[in-house]
Amino acid sequence: MNHITKASWVLISIAGLLLASPALRAEGEDETAWNSTLKEKLFAGRTIEEDQQTIEITAPYRAEDPGLVPLQITSRFPQTAEHYIKNITVVIDNNPVPFSASFDFTPESGKAEIATRMRFNAYTYVRAIAETSDGRLHMAKAFVKASGGCSAPVGTDLEAARARMGKMKFKLDGDKASLNQPNPVQLLISHPNITGMQMDQISRIVLPAHYVTEVKVTFEGKPVLTAKTDIAISADPNFRFYFVPSKAGELKSEIKDNLGNNYSASQTITP
């Protein structure tokens, strides 16, 4: 999505917020945005199967904090060279930028599973669309009641967040990795991930959008997880996923943000 498109989405959304009457902001589980535009915009002309055999999505029906909604997508089968999930795209229908993230997996991922924390700006469906190695698309969706997650004030300790920006750490279950099987790992990224929607009408303080756009995790140089991310990812982006080490080696994360900053961090993995 280019910047002009993004800006217009933000504008449309703000106009929508201002104009929408309570009656229009129905609590019904509406899929208009997906069916009328998003599906075609993001997956032009392709068939998307809604089935239970590929992936499952877990999100709270009522979000406690719209700026930090835990979201988990799990695959129904292990990654093998013959049959695996290539990509999972996450779309939040009624967010100002519905495209939220896209995660590329490989057979070496072990399990195509991702957990992260996202912002929800309105009552909406969140959907995960998985592309399997045979090129087919499969979708799972969940409805989430939350509002204001994108326009909500940024974390109050913005100074601390900026001082720590770009810092990353991996967390594994225990000290040792298990060889030749999927190991869960968590990547914590310190970044304020500002949406650009926290506008100011009084003192003209402007917080321009500043968020992580790319996350690339490799083990010994081979891709484990590659993600494109947008403003729906919560401050201090956090990803849980799997990787399969066949020997000791280096787990490395490289990220980019929309202002062109690059950061990297790595951790030695020992069996």
Partner 1 sequence: MKPNQPRLRLTASALLLCLAIASHAETISIQEVAPGVYVHQGVHQLPDEHNRGEIANIGFIVGERCVAVIDSGGSPEQGLALKHQIGAVTHTPICYVINTHVHPDHIYGNLAFKAAGVSFIGHHKLGQAMALRAPFYREKARSELGFTLSAEHFVPPDQPVKDTLDLDLGGRTLRLTAHPTAHTDNDLSILDTQTGTLWLGDLLFMGHIPVVDGSLNGWLQEIGKLRSVQADRVIPGHGPVVAAWPLALTGEENYLKQLQTEIRSAIQSGKTIEQAMEEIGQSTRPDWRLFDDFHKRNIATAFAELEWEDD
List contacts with partner 1 (CB under 8 A): 17-18, 22, 25, 64-65, 68, 70, 72, 115, 117, 148, 151-154, 156-157, 164, 167, 169, 171, 173-174, 188, 190, 198-203, 205, 207, 234-236, 238, 240
For residues 31 and 94, the answer to whether their CB atoms sit within 8 Å is no
Q: How far, in Å, CA of 210 to CA of 164, rounded?
A: 14
Least Cβ distance, residue 43 to partner 1 (angstroms): 29
Dihedrals φ, ψ of 37, to 5°? -135, -45
Interacting residues of 134 by C-beta distance below 8 A, sequence separation 6+ = 83
Least Cβ distance, residue 29 to partner 1 (angstroms): 19
Least Cβ distance, residue 193 to partner 1 (angstroms): 12
Least Cβ distance, residue 76 to partner 1 (angstroms): 19
For residues 169 and 185, the answer to whether their CB atoms sit within 8 Å is no
- Residue 57's Cα: distance from chain center in Å? 13
Dihedral angle sign, alpha carbons of residues 210, 38, 226, 241: positive
Q: How far, in Å, CA of 187 to CA of 178, rounded?
A: 18
Q: Which is nearer to partner 1, 82 or 159 (CB)?
A: 159
Least Cβ distance, residue 191 to partner 1 (angstroms): 11
For residues 59 and 104, the answer to whether their CB atoms sit within 8 Å is no
